[in-house]
Chains A and B, each alone.
Chain A
């Protein structure tokens, strides 16, 4: 990977990586640090990075850092998470997007990340498998279960609204 390839990656993918991390970690500073670290790592190993797979490389790096960070934080935010998990706690949604993003926050972390890879980035099962290290069937099951959950969530919210 040349310097030009690297800088093209910054222009092309930095927003996407940041969005993915931010939606999972909900902390702008930490998300920024993870993005910086991911790009720093890619720069250091640029000789071994295929420019065509640079996006996957970035997301893979960010994903693994994110998983560690989420695991560390899990017990600290568990109370907040419980408070947010009530389906009927907030009924002032006027937009389906808001409802859906609220629903995504209720998903288990792995399902959430896998669905984001699928919908935000348009990755195939195989690409998600390479990034996450999960098997393809696991990826598929996570996505299908997430869809069922989201469908039920939207259905209930529409009834409430």
Chain B
């Protein structure tokens, strides 16, 4: 303490006043202060003005979110204990111990009740949304397919078993003389000339009457050769054979054409070939088409769609064109395929358009 502070003056009276108001003044100094004030009345009123100013005692403010600081090791997640307990109460339910703990916390921290109300509002109510294209997902059993398939298969079988005029016409138009010579050989193998039945089968008359085929004249001449006709001469005219005893099947009338099926089915082999040869020729043509090796450079530049279209064009002899359909952003949104009068567009799923 300096010498100056031992005596109160008009220069240091403020310090003396503060010490007096704070209660830090000894009785001796108080005597000096009061003497000073009796001589300086203006300062006495100043001290009296300061005296009522009393600061409230400082209080420790309560931390409003103290309950958020509690943690529990059972939570095993980075959450305050109260949040954990409130959510668990809503989601799974609490154990007895956890219920007690929550009640204890709620007792000391009423704010937890408000939080519990807020948590109860976080359960989301599902909005009512209806999928408009649900009907497109329904799969219906195609009950008509099996009978139709059966009928189709039966029709195809009938068509193959009973040779029609159409196939024979194809055969004659193709003029496959090799096949005709095979017919002759086949007949000779099955029916040796010495066999008495041969005369009925290979005679010119028999061919003309049992086979409703309008074969070219040169073919008929070849198939009914003089050699076979001669064989007739060796046979006694009155001899009966097994074939002659058999009754002919009644002629079958169908739409468009009719023919008589001989009991011997002598033309079955020819007609079988007539069915098979066009198929064989077609297969041969397709095989040739497949065996064409395209230019390597062309393959390297072509897409798989282009290569597929090229192959199909070669196989079917029909021009197959395809094109990509773009939207305004330049994304491919669909593929369009066209061949002759057939045209089909397939929209691509959105996820595949990028």
- Measured CB to CB, the closest approach of chain A to B86, in angstroms, equals 8
Q: What's the Cα separation between A148 and B84 when bound, in Å?
A: 9
Q: Determine, out of B135-143, B175-183, B198-206, the stretch whose residues face the partner at the interface.
A: B135-143
Taking a contact as CB atoms closer than 8 A, the residue among A6, A29, A32, A151 that contacts B115 in the complex is: A151
| B133 in contact with A7 (CB, 8 Å) | no
In whole angstroms, how far apart are the Cα atoms of A14 and B136 in the complex? Answer: 11
Contact yes or no, A19 B115, CB < 8 A: no
Using C-beta atoms within 8 Å of the partner chain, give the interface range for chain A: 35 or more
Contacts of B350 in A (CB 8 A): 29-30, 33
Cβ–Cβ < 8 Å partners of A11 in chain B: 134
Is B124's CB under 8 angstroms from A36's CB? no
Q: Are A151 and B124 in contact (CB under 8 A)?
A: no
Q: Are A120 and B124 in contact (CB under 8 A)?
A: yes
Query: How near does chain B come to A114, taking the closest CB pair, in angstroms?
Result: 12
Interface-side segment among A49-57, A80-88, A94-102, A127-135: A94-102
Q: In the complex, are the beta carbons of B129 and A36 less than 8 A apart?
A: no
- Known: A30-B351, A101-B127, A116-B124. Contact between A151 and B118, CB under 8 A? yes
Report chain B residues within 8 Å CB of A141.
77
CB contacts (< 8 Å) of B133 on chain A: these are: 32, 35-36
> Contacts A30-B351, A33-B350, A137-B76 given: A100-B121 contact, CB under 8 Å?
yes
Q: Is the Cβ of B129 less than 8 Å from the Cβ of A15? A: yes
In the complex, the answer to whether B123 meets A143 with C-beta atoms within 8 Å is: no
Residue from the list B77, B124, B130 in contact with A15, Cβ < 8 A: B130
Min C-beta distance of A15 to chain B, whole Å: 5
Bound complex: CA A43 to CA B79 (Å): 44
CB of A15 within 8 A of CB of B118, answer: no
By a CB distance below 8 angstroms, the chain A residues around B90 are: 147
B34 at the interface (CB under 8 A from A): no
Q: Is the CB of B126 within 8 A of A151?
A: no
Of the candidates A18, A37, A43, the one whose C-beta lies within 8 Å of that of B129 is A18
Q: Known: A18-B131, A97-B125, A120-B124. Is A151-B119 also a contact (CB below 8 A)?
A: yes
| Min distance, Cβ B327 to any Cβ of chain A, angstroms | 12
A38 (CB) vs chain B CBs: closest residue: B137
B340 contacts partner chain A, Cβ-Cβ < 8 Å: no
Instruction: Assess whether A144 is in contact with B84, with CB atoms less than 8 Å apart.
Output: yes
**Residue B354 CB within 8 A of the other chain:** yes
Q: How far is the CB of B37 from chain A (nearest CB, A)?
A: 56
Return A105 CB to nearest CB of chain B, in Å: 12
Chain A residues with CB under 8 Å of B119's CB are 147, 151
Interface residues of A (CB under 8 A from B): 3, 6-7, 10-11, 14-15, 17-19, 22-23, 29-30, 32-37, 39, 43, 65, 69, 72, 96-97, 100-101, 104, 115-116, 119-120, 137, 140-141, 143-145, 147-148, 150-151, 154-155
Chosen A-B contacts, 18 in total, with CB atoms closer than 8 Å, are: A3-B139, A3-B141, A7-B138, A15-B129, A18-B130, A19-B129, A30-B350, A36-B136, A120-B126, A141-B77, A143-B87, A144-B77, A144-B91, A147-B122, A150-B122, A151-B115, A151-B118, A151-B122
Closest 10 CB pairs of A and B: A18-B131, A19-B129, A150-B122, A119-B124, A120-B126, A10-B137, A151-B118, A14-B134, A14-B131, A33-B349
